[in-house]
């Protein structure tokens, strides 16, 4: 029995059309009649032809059609965190016109015989999510391979396009809103300070050693308004991590804050649960703010006071930068602006 893969020429011959006509049925780049399309697809089904050989297409283009996306944390975040999901949607949309897909890679994790690593993955370009000191080694590897790089929420130097958010200014705006309501006793719940860092209070030394730009910049924004606000680092951006942080912050009934500024909406949702456990009403006893502007399941009747960031647009901008670089065009850095959205989780402190 022959094991030869059927070709587009075989399909065309069986369907009684030219190879170019059969080819456009699969590419979708030129319109053909419904009758011709059905005849070609029927021939393909008979021959077991499922489409052009991607290896041949890659050889013709001189590219793999793969964009690597490098994370500084666990890859599971790409599927769990709504902000990252939205960003990945925008990135995928932007690279789709050049028939490219995404390959997720984790910083500092080398592949084995079962999978690709940063040094071996057949990628045309790379998008780095964040840029910690650990990412520097990854950047060096990519540069040695001559692979174009874009950084999202990080800084890899003046020659690497960046897609960033106004994190400090946005967090300052939230803190200023809380200050305008009359709050003076405020605590912060932050994103992780480093890859795989444990949850815990952030002292001066830990702040100096913080490698996650987003965390550091949002702390700076909050402390522009509340210089002495204590900060507690969560182990990730999730409701469970926000609950754990909220329990710690609200543990001492003699030193309760009247407001908690969380660095993500998921963390804020966890703080709301911790407040409920302690019998505190929101916002009459405790005001809570988030960051991101995402939909959080089960938050009703609350609508978070938050900053809405354009996560999808950030991913799309990164993808557009990749497309530009692969076309040997200049790719500019982009800074997006967050938008304040007032919800029902903030109010003046008790007694005011």
Q: Are residues 76 and 181 in the same domain?
A: no
Q: pLDDT band at residue 69, thresholds of 50, 70 and 90?
A: very high
Tokens 């990135």: give the residue.
91
Is-contact 73 211, C-beta < 8 A? no
Whole-number Å distance between alpha carbons of 221 and 169: 6
172: domain range?
Answer: 167-310
pLDDT digits (tens, 9 = 90+) for 254-267: 889 999 999 999 99
Query: Are residues 108 and 220 located together in one domain of the fold?
Result: no
Grouping H, G, I as helix, E, B as strand and the rest as coil, residue 190 is: strand
231 in the same domain as 215: yes
Calculate mean pLDDT across residues 169-193: 97
| 214-262: pLDDT as tens digits | 999 999 999 999 999 999 999 999 999 999 999 999 998 888 999 999 9
| Average of per-residue pLDDT across 75-89 | 83
Q: Establish if 141 belongs to a structural domain.
A: yes
pLDDT of residue 111: 47
The answer on 301 and 194 residing in a single domain is yes
In a domain, 251, yes or no: yes
CATH number of 203's domain: 3.40.50.2300
Give the closest residue to 88 by CA, choosing from 295, 264, 263, 311: 311
The secondary structure of 12-41 as a DSSP string is HHHHTS-HHHHHHHHH-SS---HHHHHHHH
Name, in order, each residue with C-beta under 8 angstroms of 196's C-beta and a sequence gap of 6 or more: 73
- pLDDT over 90 (residue 283): yes
Lookup: tokens for 122: 């057949």
Tell me: the pLDDT tens digits for 49-63? Answer: 877 655 554 444 556
Of 48-57, 72-81, 134-143, 323-332, the least confident: 48-57
Same domain, 306 and 317: no
Whole-number Cα distances in Å, 74 to 104, 167, 197, 245, 248 = 10, 22, 12, 20, 24
Whether 1 is in a domain gets the answer no
Number of domains in the chain: 3
Same domain, 303 and 175: yes
């Amino acid at each position: 029995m022959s094991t030869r893969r059927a070709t587009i020429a075989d399909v065309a011959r069986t369907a009684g059309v030219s190879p170019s006509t059969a080819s456009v049925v699969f590419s979708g780049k030129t319109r053909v009649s419904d009758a011709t399309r059905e005849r070609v697809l029927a021939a393909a089904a008979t021959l077991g032809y499922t489409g052009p050989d991607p290896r041949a297409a890659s050889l013709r283009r001189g590219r793999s059609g793969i964009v690597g996306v490098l994370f500084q944390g666990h890859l599971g975040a790409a599927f769990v965190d709504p902000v990252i999901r939205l960003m990945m949607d925008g990135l995928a949309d932007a690279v789709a016109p050049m028939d490219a897909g995404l390959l997720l890679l984790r910083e500092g994790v080398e592949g084995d015989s079962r999978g690709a690593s940063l040094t071996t993955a057949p990628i045309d370009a790379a998008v780095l999510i964040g840029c910690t000191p650990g990412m520097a080694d990854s950047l060096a590897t990519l540069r040695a391979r001559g692979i174009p790089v874009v950084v999202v929420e990080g800084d890899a130097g003046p020659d690497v396009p960046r897609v960033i958010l106004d994190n400090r200014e946005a967090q300052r705006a939230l803190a200023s809103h809380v200050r305008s309501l009359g709050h003076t006793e405020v605590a912060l719940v932050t994103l992780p300070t480093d890859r795989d860092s444990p949850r815990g209070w952030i002292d001066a030394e830990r702040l100096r050693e913080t490698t996650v730009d987003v965390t550091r910049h949002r702390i700076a924004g909050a402390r522009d308004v509340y210089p002495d606000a204590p900060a507690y680092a969560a182990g990730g951006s999730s409701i469970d991590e926000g609950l754990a942080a909220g329990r710690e912050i609200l543990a001492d009934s003699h030193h309760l804050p009247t407001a908690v500024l969380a660095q993500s909406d998921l963390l804020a949702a966890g703080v709301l649960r911790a407040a409920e456990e302690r019998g505190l009403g929101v916002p009459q006893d405790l005001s809570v703010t988030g960051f991101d502007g995402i939909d959080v399941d089960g938050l009703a009747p609350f609508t978070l006071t938050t900053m809405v960031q354009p996560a999808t647009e950030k991913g799309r901008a990164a993808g557009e930068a990749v497309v530009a670089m692969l076309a040997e065009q200049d790719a500019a850095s982009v800074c997006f602006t967050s938008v304040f959205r007032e919800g029902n989780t903030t109010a003046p402190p008790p007694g005011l």
